[in-house]
Structure 1
């Protein structure tokens, strides 16, 4: 019986191996092309795509292949072909229920339409769909990318300058949570251009260019770093700081380039010539002007060569098309024989495989019966554990309610009665001399303070019960109390909090946030606060910001004893606590708590 099983399986395995090896080789080429595009090596990606045989691709691989074709067409400035490939890929992703991949193509489609003039299709249709998906999924990375794209859309609208700047800041705020360095670099670069060209504020542009410079140097992005220095030089030129502009351009000249070296050098030499002329260093200006002229002539010659090569390529293509037609006829006959043999082997293998599966299925049925019994037993044990835990939690909640009720009803009512008796005694002893009246008034005030303290203690005991409902519901109740009392308007935003965290941690976090909100009411003179809770796989990020008067925070100082206590609690939890505040610019508290 064992020998027969091996005979049945062998032909099927042979067929599967033949088909898999052919498909696997093509998939490897597709993956290599995708990796080349990520490295922005479009020439290698184009060569790989030409060698790919898509006949053995499944629908998902075919959709990925269309995306690669669209990226290459976009690089070659063929926007119409790129748009066609990307929209076809999006349609296939939606048919395969791969909605995330489909939505991500919207940013590419937006860029394509945004870069074209007089296009009848509105790019914002794709961007609005992208933002709606990001908001519904509370996806901070896509929200950051979407706000950055919206800012690019409005960047040249003179009536939308303030709105555009607000969109850029929104992108930075959400990316601060997402922590995507590459996107942050893009935002910094676009912000610097916006400040330099649209707002005419080169000082602000330089701030973001220097921040971006740190990332580009760290990740060895030589081509982008070169243009960063050129943009810094442009900002210095606008400030008429020509010597600093020259220093930046000389730094750029030392960077080795991979993409467009001749064109980049031409721009660089032109800028050096202009800045040296402004410094009245005419000898250096003439030298770099000559270098610019030389590079520019090379570019013009290359453009002519490309035109000639295009004409030659068209003629060669027609000759090859005739040769390919002849080869296709020959190969078609060979392919018919090969596919006929493969089909016969495949059909035989499939029949043998089904026979083997039927034999194996009988054995699996017996094993499944035992597994079902084991699963039922495990389920019963888990239900019992859950019941025990629920009874313990219910007992703790009952104790808290009883204690709070005792404090409020018994002790509170006794204090109220005592205060009433003191009032009666005061009335009976009238008229009182000044010292006795002052003493009784002081006793009454002490009784009122004691009564309020007992009520506050009862309320505090009930807060533990409130947190049992969950951190978010407890915070919502506290926020509602502040709003009802017209003390502070708080907006709560949650991302990724789909499951409850440990209850003891919830209580500690609630206490810290409750104290922080109290500090805002007491000291910040704020009218609005925003509270963001973002749950990551290994930690919880909390950000509380207000529009108050702000302050200069110094750790371990007396002015921040409340904040110092919160910092100590966060450190006990193994987390990090940061305070970002300056006078007249509000305050931001950031918690990073490990889970």
Structure 2
């Protein structure tokens, strides 16, 4: 009866306090080491009072089993508590219980358990109410779940967020947990043990400042163990052992076997690295002894059986509810299905019609754009043709005037001057005759140069070679011409277009490149003519050219090549010269 009264008083306290008070009370039980006693008293209370399922009591009962490392029993009673909370529509208790179950399953390293589905239910509720306590616990869970992510900043961000939430509600225990988590990321993932110890010692200072070491013995133990790990990873093995030994002296209130198992494994490894094989063996023995007690494999098997049982029960309940609704709404569903079928058919037809109209409209717009673009392109090419044709006519006109009019006039003057009755030894006369001959030859050269586009008698290659020879005679620019595979002559207008493009490119070299050498290569392969004009000049940045002041210009040459269905490529490097490649089908 005494046990019942004690248990009843505990139940009354739990019912009267909020969820944080419940966990404070559980921590008090942990400090007393009363987990086995709690289980016995709960069983007596059930027998003497007839109490069956009350979620608050079941949470306490399941926690006692979990502290004794009996995860399968804890899982069973947590699920019983969850059912009770769901039945009583206690949304916050349902959410927290889902998180407890998710943590329990994840701690078992059971890959077959669906622990994340429990967390998703918790997280949906936590984000909807915005509680700092719940949000902090959720962010802490996400940090642990993403701990092994390829980017360590992802778990760090979750742990930082959790720390901010817990600080806002002055939750010392949970704030310390997240400082340790951030230290673990720096130590294990980033391998920055100095930064890891910064977080560990910050948590240690927080415990010291609050004077809560006895109350938070688990956190104190884990901190010392983690500090030891950071020193071991930094190869400071003696310092690591100092912190491990401090942790070994503590009485752990919760999850004692699991906690000590981790510590003994670390101490075994450290002694091994120090070459102290006797102590390494002793701690390995302690580690194996605790591992056998925990028996995770058996517990996971039992958890899977319990999970299957609850899944089957839920499935049967869902099936009964579905059958009930099916019978109640059968006629309505039939009518609604018919209406939906007809509506869907009409909607599909309307949708298809709309899509077809839209596609036709889009095609029409596209065709209009293409017609406009083609028209603009044709007009541009016509203007280029007209410009070239005008230039050619102007060249012929100027050449004719130079040759026929001014050339004849100069020849007549020269004839009269030669027949003049003056002394042939007069120096002034000799100079005048020499200058008159030079002027006459220059006029003839200009006439031939301006008329060099007329190639009906000589063809493309001879005209280009003649142009190269004429330019090279100045001794300021050496122009060479190489030809490969040029066969029969091409159509005269095509030869003229090609010659003018080459002539313009060479003129650009003379005017702008400051080059000493130009090489012109003409290669004909089957139905394709390849032209390369290379110079050793200063090169240029084509994007900075003034297209309005460049005569025929590279852009106009490129458009002319495009009109001939060819390809035009410019390769220029400042200080290293320019290469221009033209490919034209012939």
TM-score range, shorter chain: 0.3 to 0.5
What TM-score, normalized to structure 1? Answer: 0.40
What TM-score, normalized to structure 2? Answer: 0.41
